[in-house]
């Protein structure tokens, strides 16, 4: 268990609640105990769920062990439990208190986020059983992107598909982007309401978001968390004709395609086996050509995504790297930035950075920042605001 402290980037909560935050992702569960008044994380721990959490069984036991590590010994230990939920659809545009109806709604949206919503729902059920008297709150990654204009959320497909089938862009990683926006404003000494940013969340899942004056104006993930950049096990955007070809020639069915694109693509597909970026970088350094290809492709697609999303902004003040790879792989950050010279982004050193910082030289064009992803802080704040308002 890690005990740490960090002052809030997004402002203090309305009153102090001790919030247990459970961030159930595609490859791990991150647990935090957060004081909502200043968003200090008094305890943190993380449990790996393997490369694919949706195939994990026995989640309640895993969460019970995590609560033990965090020192949560029953309902009297915490005031609320905040859960990260990836997909909120059009129904959930802000945090909500969880009841049976909300839980069914979260599960129904699993058809759009199969790697995430089912696991999140299972985690919520487990937390309700383990802490039956504690308020449970769901905070949604899609909510930050509710501000997208129609030219950004609508796809160029038959007009009726949105009304009839719900086909539209939602965007994800919103909790991370919200935190990164606030931290960037602090580090740059400027108001978020006056900044034009691109936030690159690079981790097991990857996305880029253009943020103008604190508002999401464009983002790379779409109807599902599969669109956009190359990721850990997900392909990101590819020619849709590939899928039509595989279906038409019966080389794969829909379930096989879903499994391949969600679980067997991205870094895993190119490198050839399940591994994190650190292992792949080590293999590349030792002469593994497929590992080097995986890194080069990841870097190229991340840079292309950043460049593309920046066109939604009137200018670019700063580029923020966050997420596991964005925070911890100095080599990937430096390689991505080298490709962005046409945008006025100056090179940054491939040097490890342990804390949030501006890593570019001052007063030399677009600022480059490294920010720790703190979805837990945003979830705790949203949970406290919801519960105290009610």
Which pLDDT value is given to residue 111? 87
Distance from C-alpha of 108 to C-alpha of 121, rounded to nearest angstrom: 10
Q: Taking a C-beta distance cutoff of 8 angstroms, is the pair 367, 188 a contact?
A: yes
Count of residues for the chain?
390
What's the pLDDT score for residue 319?
98
Do 216 and 163 reside in the same domain of the chain? no
The pLDDT value recorded for residue 57 is 60
| Burial label, 131 (beta-carbon count in 10 A; 0-12, 13-18, 19+) | buried
Q: Within this chain, do residues 267 and 228 fall inside the same structural domain, yes or no?
A: yes
**318 lies in a domain?**
yes
Residue 330 covered by a domain:
yes
Task: Tell me how far apart the alpha carbons of residues 30 and 41 are, in angstroms, rounded to a whole number.
Answer: 12
Q: 16: exposed, middle or buried (C-beta count within 10 Å: 0-12, 13-18, 19+)?
A: middle
Instruction: Determine whether 38 is an active site residue.
Output: no
- Angstrom distance (rounded) from CA 181 to CA 145: 13
Strands 80-85 and 135-140, by their bridges, are parallel
One domain for residues 107 and 217: no
The C-alpha atoms of residue 311 and residue 13 are separated, in whole angstroms, by 34
What pLDDT does 56 receive? 54
* 387 within a domain of the structure (yes/no): no
Kindly state whether residues 78 and 130 are assigned to the same domain: yes
Going residue by residue through the chain, which has 390 residues, state the pLDDT in tens, using 9 for 90 and above: 444 434 445 554 457 899 999 998 766 789 999 999 999 999 999 887 765 445 556 688 889 999 999 999 888 899 999 999 999 999 999 999 999 999 999 999 998 888 789 989 999 999 999 999 999 999 999 999 999 999 999 999 999 999 999 999 999 999 999 999 999 999 999 999 999 999 999 999 999 999 999 999 999 999 999 999 999 999 999 999 999 999 999 999 999 999 999 999 999 999 999 999 999 999 999 999 999 999 999 999 999 999 999 999 999 999 999 999 999 999 999 999 999 999 889 999 999 999 999 999 988 889 999 999 999 999 999 999 999 987
Place of tokens 């949560």: 72
Please state, in angstroms and as integers, the Cα–Cα distance from residue 165 to each residue in 113, 158, 159, 181, 223, following that order. 15, 11, 11, 32, 11
- Say if residue 194 is in the same domain as residue 310: yes
CA–CA separation, 219 and 217 (whole Å): 7
- For residues 319 and 247, membership in a common domain is answered with yes
Same domain, 199 and 163: no
Alpha-carbon span 199 to 204, nearest angstrom: 16
- Angle, CA 302 vertex, CA 262 and CA 310 arms, to 5°: 120
Last residue of a domain, one of 170, 204, 238: 170
Q: What pLDDT is stored for residue 13 in this prediction?
A: 46
Final residue of a structural domain among 137, 170, 203: 170
User: How does 87-105 read in b/e, with b if 16+ C-beta sit within 10 Å?
Assistant: bbbeebeebbebeeebbeb
In a domain, 339, yes or no: yes
Domain that holds residue 338: 190-370
3-state secondary structure of 104: helix
Domain count, the chain: 2
The confidence score (pLDDT) of residue 7 equals 45
383 found inside a domain: no
pLDDT score, position 364: 82
Residues 166, 200, single domain; the answer is no
Q: What do you get for the CA distance between the two ends of the chain, in Å?
A: 33
Domain shared by 160 and 208, yes or no: no
Task: Count Cα neighbours of 298 within 13 Å in the Cβ-side half-sphere.
Answer: 36
385: in domain:
no
Residue 249 resides in a domain? yes
Residue 25: CATH number of its domain: 3.30.420.40
Note the pLDDT of residue 3: 42
**Does residue 375 fall inside a structural domain?**
no
Domain shared by 159 and 259, yes or no: no
Residue among 52, 79, 141, 356 flagged as catalytic: 141
135 & 248 share domain? no
Q: Are 215 and 355 in the same domain? A: yes
């Amino acid at each position: 268990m890690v005990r740490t402290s960090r002052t809030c980037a997004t402002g203090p909560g309305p009153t102090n609640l001790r919030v247990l935050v459970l961030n159930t992702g595609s490859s791990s569960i991150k647990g935090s105990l957060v004081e909502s008044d200043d968003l200090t994380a008094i305890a943190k721990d993380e449990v790996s769920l393997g490369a694919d959490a949706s195939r994990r069984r026995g989640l309640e036991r895993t969460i019970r062990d995590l609560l033990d590590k965090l020192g949560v010994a029953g309902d009297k230990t915490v005031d609320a439990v905040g859960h990260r939920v990836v997909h909120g659809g059009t129904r959930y545009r802000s945090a909500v208190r969880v009841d049976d109806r909300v839980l069914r709604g979260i599960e129904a949206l699993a058809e759009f986020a199969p790697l995430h919503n089912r696991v999140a729902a299972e985690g919520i059920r487990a937390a309700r059983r383990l802490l039956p008297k504690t308020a449970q709150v769901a905070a949604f990654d899609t909510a930050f992107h509710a501000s997208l204009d129609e030219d950004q959320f609508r796809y160029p497909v038959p007009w009726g598909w949105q009304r009839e089938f719900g086909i539209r862009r939602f965007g994800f990683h919103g909790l991370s982007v919200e935190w990164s926006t606030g931290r960037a404003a602090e580090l740059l000494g400027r108001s978020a309401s006056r900044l034009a940013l691109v936030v690159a969340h690079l981790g097991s899942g990857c996305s880029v978001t253009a943020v103008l004056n604190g508002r999401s104006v464009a983002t790379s993930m779409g109807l599902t968390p599969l669109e956009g950049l190359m990721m850990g096990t997900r392909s990101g955007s590819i020619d849709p004709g590939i899928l039509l070809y595989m279906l038409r020639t019966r080389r794969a069915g829909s379930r096989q395609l879903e499994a391949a694109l969600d679980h067997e693509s991205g870094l895993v597909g190119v490198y050839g086996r399940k591994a994190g970026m650190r292992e792949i970088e080590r293999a590349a350094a030792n002469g593994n050509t497929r590992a080097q290809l995986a890194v080069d492709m990841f870097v190229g697609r991340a840079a292309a995504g950043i460049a593309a999303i920046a066109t939604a902004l009137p200018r670019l003040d700063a580029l923020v790297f966050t997420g596991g790879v964005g925070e911890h792989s100095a080599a990937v950050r430096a390689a991505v930035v080298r490709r962005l010279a046409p945008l006025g982004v100056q090179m940054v050193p491939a040097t490890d950075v342990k804390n949030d910082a501006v890593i570019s030289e001052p007063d030399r064009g677009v600022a480059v920042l490294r920010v720790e992803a703190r979805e837990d802080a945003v979830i705790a704040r949203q949970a406290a605001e919801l519960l105290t308002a009610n």
